[in-house]
Amino acid sequence: MHSKGIALLILAALLALPALASAYTPWGAIYDAARDERSVSDIAADKKISTDIKATLVNRDGKLGLAVKVYCYLGKVTLLGQLGDDKFKAFAEATAKKAKGARSVSTHWVAPGKEDTTKADLEIAAKLRAALVGDKDISATQVETEVFGGKVYLIGMVRSQKDADKAVAHARAVKGVTGVTSLLVPPKKK
């Protein structure tokens, strides 16, 4: 292997380390907690709720279960996806409502297109991620994005309504976006 190829492999490995650390070590959990508006116990409870729901959906039907995105913030469950099977959508919603610790459930279903995820959707998601990360005034690591047929869904907990509004503005500014739905949760007012 040429030295240039080795250098690229080393660079790729170094770039992957933070993601691996976040996924497989306690340091990742600490990093996730440090950038989240929730307490560590709230993060753990939300993760358990979303994981339990996802596991039940995938156990019922692997393909359809994977098509449903499950998010949970402070017990508020959000299900979204590009799914045409009404029976499975009803099953997913019922499963979420029965999940221990789930306080509320909202659903956002998009009719399937010719493809589950288009190249254009992936490009929109990448451009939006770059815009969010490039804005040093908002905590972009707390904003998750899903794109279906050009429609952007913003999900997560943000530090303020101002951060939520800025994330929406960034999404609307991306070429090809046909709509934006903000499911961002600002902190509770005291």
Task: Give this prediction's pTM.
Answer: 0.76
Tokens of 171: 């999404």
**Spatial contact of 155 and 71, defined as CB atoms under 8 Å apart:** yes
Q: Can you tell me the distance from the alpha carbon of 174 to that of 114, in angstroms, rounded to the nearest whole number?
A: 22
Residue 165 confidence (pLDDT):
93
List alpha helices for 99-174, DSSP H: 119-134, 161-172
**Spatial contact of 180 and 147, defined as CB atoms under 8 Å apart:** no
Report residue 32's pLDDT band, with 50, 70 and 90 as the boundaries. Answer: very low
Provide the strand spans (E) within the chain.
Answer: 68-73, 76-82, 104-110, 143-148, 151-157, 179-185
Same fold, 40-110 and 119-185: yes
**How do residues 44-70 score in pLDDT, each as one tens digit?**
999 999 999 999 999 999 999 999 999
Q: Which CATH class is domain 119-185?
A: alpha beta
Report percent pLDDT > 90 for the chain: 57
**How do residues 160-182 score in pLDDT, each as one tens digit?**
889 999 999 999 999 999 999 99
CA 1 centroid distance within chain: 38
Tell me the domain boundaries of the chain: 3-34, 40-110, 119-185
Q: So what's the architecture of 40-110 in CATH?
A: 2-Layer Sandwich (3.30)
